[in-house]
Amino acid sequence: MTTSEIEVFGPDVVEKARALVERYTADARPGADAQQRAMRARSALLPMLHLVQSVQGYVSQEGIDFCAEHLDIAAAEVSAVATFYTMYKRRPCGEHLVSVCTNTLCAALGGDAIYAKLSEHLGVGNEETAGEPGEPGSVTLEHAECLAACDLAPVLQVNYEYYDNQTPESAVELVDALRSGQKPAPSRGAPLTDFKSVELQLAGFFPEDEETYRSQVDGSSQAVETLRGAALAQERGWTAPVMEDVPLPEAGSK
């Protein structure tokens, strides 16, 4: 590891990186050779990218080299993955990442207007940060594709937690609260923390004591709108037709 990587990623991060590799190789078949173990170890790349992002708020060149070294793969392979998925950021993010859904349904119901209003209010464009990245109150704005909450459109997320049924005004209120250090409760799901803390969770690391763990990740994820169809069916006594057990075709005839 180079000196600059050691400075960026301290011993605790190195320990976590090793734990990730161990997590993916621990149950390798008895007698698995070095090549098979290496193949399994590379499965740890996605969480490891979240791990380096939890330190720097993005995947830097040092982060790419760090993953490559711990997984014994080429930096180009790490780079190819990091640039493919939108959750890996190539520029430092703010304390909070605000993702506004501008996909079809949200856009039609006001998502475009919300994005335009926030962009104007914060004075930033897509994937740009208002404030100093990583500093308290800094906010990175981004367009997002469908966030799988179309029944609650238009929606936005802060650090991947949902804020449903938004308007340009409520979105401005939300980012103003974030910028002043508040953490307004999401519509559902876990309480709001910050981008780097969420990245550590995405890497698979959680507080050890049960109470802190629960307080960070628990929260009701259901919404009235999402359950409306099931509630109507229950009120009216509707049931789905019984499915007949159809045997699967023979493998050879597929």
Number of residues counted as binding ligand FES (CB under 6 A):
12
**Range 100-119, binding ligand FES (CB under 6 A):** 101, 103-106
- State the nearest-atom distance from the C-beta of 173 to ligand FES, in Å: 20
Distance, in Å, from the CA atom of 63 to the CA atom of 56, rounded to the nearest integer, reads 8
Q: Considering Cα of 183, then 186, then 192, then 195, what sign does the dihedral take?
A: negative
Q: What CA dihedral angle connects 102, 107, 111 and 117, to 10 degrees?
A: 90
Of 149, 171, 192, 203, the residue at the interface with ligand FES (CB under 6 A) is 149
Applying CB under 6 A, among 147, 156, 171, 190 the residue interacting with ligand FES is 147
Q: At residue 15, what is the residue type?
A: E
Of 59, 71, 93, 155, the residue at the interface with ligand FES (CB under 6 A) is: 155
Please state whether beta strands 161-163 and 156-158 pair in parallel, antiparallel, or not at all (unpaired). Answer: antiparallel
Measured from the CB of residue 150, what is the shortest distance to ligand FES in angstroms? Answer: 4
Stretch in the footprint of ligand FES (CB under 6 A) among 40-48, 97-105, 197-205, 213-221: 97-105
223 touches ligand FES (CB under 6 A) = no
* Dist. CA 146–CA 101, nearest whole Å: 6
Going by their DSSP bridges, the two strands 161-163 and 139-144 should be labelled as unpaired
Q: Which is nearer to ligand FES, 1 or 148 (CB)?
A: 148
CA atoms within 13 A on the CB side of 100: 29
CA-based nearest residue to 114, from 131, 101, 129, 125: 101
Pick 17 or 152: Cβ nearer ligand FES:
152
Note the residues at the interface with ligand FES (CB under 6 A). 101, 103-106, 146-150, 153, 155
